[in-house]
Amino acid sequence: MSGGAQLMWDEAVTGYNFGPGHPMDPVRLALTMRLVETLGLDGAKELKVVAAKPAGDSTLGLVHRQDYIEAVRRVSADPESATGEYGLGTEDDPAFAGMHEASALIAGQSVGAADAVWRGEALHAVNFAGGLHHAMPGGASGFCVYNDASLAIARLLESGVERVAYLDVDVHHGDGVQAAFWDDPRVLTISLHEHPRTLFPGTGWAEESGGPGAEGTAVNVPLPPGTGDAGWLRALHAVVPELLYAFGPQVLVTQHGADTHFEDPLAHLAVSVDAQRVAAESAHRWAHEYAQGRWVALGGGGYAVVDVVPRTWAHLVGIAAGVPVPPETEVPREWLQMAYARTGAPVAPMRMTDGRRPSWQDWEESGYDPADRLDQAVRAARRAVFPAHGLLP
């Protein structure tokens, strides 16, 4: 098996464009790739940049209903015809010309990443254009058309993988992936997110723990608004490693939505780029400890498109490629100029850090504080699923 990593990239993924004024501005993808390039990560010895084919109908059909795929094709050819049916033509998911093609291309990169990792062509594969975790089998939702994360997992199962773990650290609940594998004991989904009472999509309660025959394979940690680095990392480390140890996945798929950041305009957590970088490092380490190193890493949400998303995902690429970018690294001048030219944003980050040094209290060592809302959330998540895995809550 190769120890190398693949970065999935086709510039045409930036055609996934809901139009002016929509928060999911594809400049976030372009600026991330330009930062990867100006930092020199794309030239790393262990990293290959690869463009996979778009997902075809039979692949999309592993997760999505045929009538939905046809509806996406129809509005893709004639955006004016979208009525809101199947979630297409809504405020969150306005139809645009080429919607099917761009969405299928992003899905193809995640499926290609999964294939590369399972065949041993790469140990790790990253598709930061992916992580479109809200798309449902029969409808678009929350800026997501085809659920590339679910499709990557479905492809792994189709290829004979018996256990896949999915970890989603986006600020929003990974509802589409949870729904796709609700009854499937072969897939463990873990989502840490802002509490459903205060944020879209309004699901992801600790009590949502999997369907009949798959009890304990959906895991939800709903975090109080305002949660910062120490709480976020405490929750992550209090829930994930024990479950991965008990579940024994053959592949780890992770979703790295950057919208937990304190600058993100759509949500209310207070996490730094530095803590997001720690989470990516932990995901990498867990892939090695619990999944023979097989790691598929995806992007996700993130709407601070100049300040946050490019840095968070460039760190992710560096970690996967075995050339982690030190936090104090200066952001290349060339990139700053490009970012200004592309967006006109007057403020851009000067360094790859927010100047934080995240630390957190270990759950086992510190004990549980019953008065603390974060600890209550962690406790509820552990109580809901740990016993099903033979773990002490």
Contact footprint for Zn ion (CB under 5 A): 170, 172, 257, 259, 301
Q: Which residue is nearest to Zn ion (CB)?
A: 301
388 exposure class (CB count in 10 Å sphere: 0-12, 13-18, 19+): middle
Nearer CB in complex with Zn ion: 27/309: 309
Q: Which two tokens stand for residue 269?
A: 């957590």
Nearer CB in complex with Zn ion: 172/237: 172
* Active-site residue list: 134
In 3D space, the residue among 61, 38, 52 whose CA is nearest the CA of residue 110 turns out to be: 52
Please report how close the Cβ of residue 18 comes to Zn ion at its closest, in angstroms.
Answer: 15
Please report how close the Cβ of residue 149 comes to Zn ion at its closest, in angstroms.
Answer: 12
Residue 159's contacts (CB-CB under 8 Å, 6 or more residues apart) are 115, 118
The dihedral built from the CA positions of residue 295, 303, 149 and 180, taken in this order, carries a sign that is: positive
Please report how close the Cβ of residue 212 comes to Zn ion at its closest, in angstroms.
Answer: 29
Contacts 24+ apart (CB under 8 A), 289-293: 289/241, 289/244, 289/245, 290/165, 290/241, 290/244, 290/245, 290/247, 290/248, 290/249, 290/252, 291/165, 291/244, 291/249, 291/250, 291/251, 291/252, 292/250, 293/3, 293/123, 293/124
Nearer CB in complex with Zn ion: 23/98: 23
E strand or H helix that includes residue 255: strand 251-255
Please report how close the Cβ of residue 333 comes to Zn ion at its closest, in angstroms.
Answer: 31
Nearer CB in complex with Zn ion: 170/229: 170
Residue 224's contacts (CB-CB under 8 Å, 6 or more residues apart) are 195, 231, 373, 374, 377
Please report how close the Cβ of residue 4 comes to Zn ion at its closest, in angstroms.
Answer: 30
- Answer for the pair 279, 256: CB distance below 8 angstroms, yes or no: yes
Nearer CB in complex with Zn ion: 172/382: 172
